[in-house]
Chains A and B, each alone.
Chain A
């Protein structure tokens, strides 16, 4: 199944994980301590976040740390910014259309 960033941020636990590791890279166990769910559940969320490239794994010695992939987060905001620009452009064109209609009427 295709994973995407919006699916990743749709879940409240995953959003909480993102906020948590935004501060510092953490091991799965340390992350799990912040949640009431099972470690398996947290692992699953981490796997989804990794598949979407929102988080990166970093091996240090025998431990794996998870850290935020900031460029992917910025990508979401860039998409939305583009969509917003398209609507701005559309509406500016609509302003012109309305002005023309008004002038024709009067």
Chain B
């Protein structure tokens, strides 16, 4: 099935809107976004793995997790939940942290809102992320860039393996 995916960058308002359809019922998608054991299975782009330390999904609660790289390197992140409307919407702040959950003030923090919308038999997710300033958007993208390179390298590894066999 071809599921719609939109990635809209608004450089003027330093925000990114990501839209994606999912072929599943709302409760499953909601669980995948809010339960640690499911988030750990998809949050990190391969070959990175997400590892939850603490998940306390409620208004005022937080998710403390690590992105673990192929060589065991860890980047810790914390998501602080602000507003939750069960199975419909949640918002919060995203920050880089250490393993104890102390936020790194030098790294970007983003405010995000996630909305779950019914679309026939599909679920439509809209994630709106706003950065306090553009430098932070750039820093995030640079972080992403590093992970992206790792992903690309993995693709290369797979290609080389398949060529060898």
Contacts and interface: CB of A to CB of B under 8 A. Distances in A.
B42 A97 contact: yes
B31 interface: yes
Contact of A93 (B42, B134, B135, B144): B42
Interface size on B, as a range, is 35 or more
> Helix, strand, loop or mixed for chain A's interface?
helix
B144 A79 contact: yes
A97 B38 contact: yes
Interface in B112-165: 133-135, 137-138, 140-142, 144-145, 147-149, 151
Contact of A6 (B11, B145, B147): B11
A39 to B, nearest CB: 25
Interface stretch (A42-50, A59-67, A81-89): A81-89
Interface stretch (B19-27, B56-64, B78-86, B90-98): B19-27
Interface in B5-46: 5, 7, 9, 11-12, 14, 16, 18, 20, 22-24, 28-29, 31-32, 38, 41-46
17 contacts: A5-B138, A9-B11, A9-B134, A10-B134, A79-B144, A82-B144, A82-B148, A83-B16, A83-B140, A87-B5, A89-B46, A91-B22, A94-B22, A94-B42, A98-B23, A101-B28, A101-B38
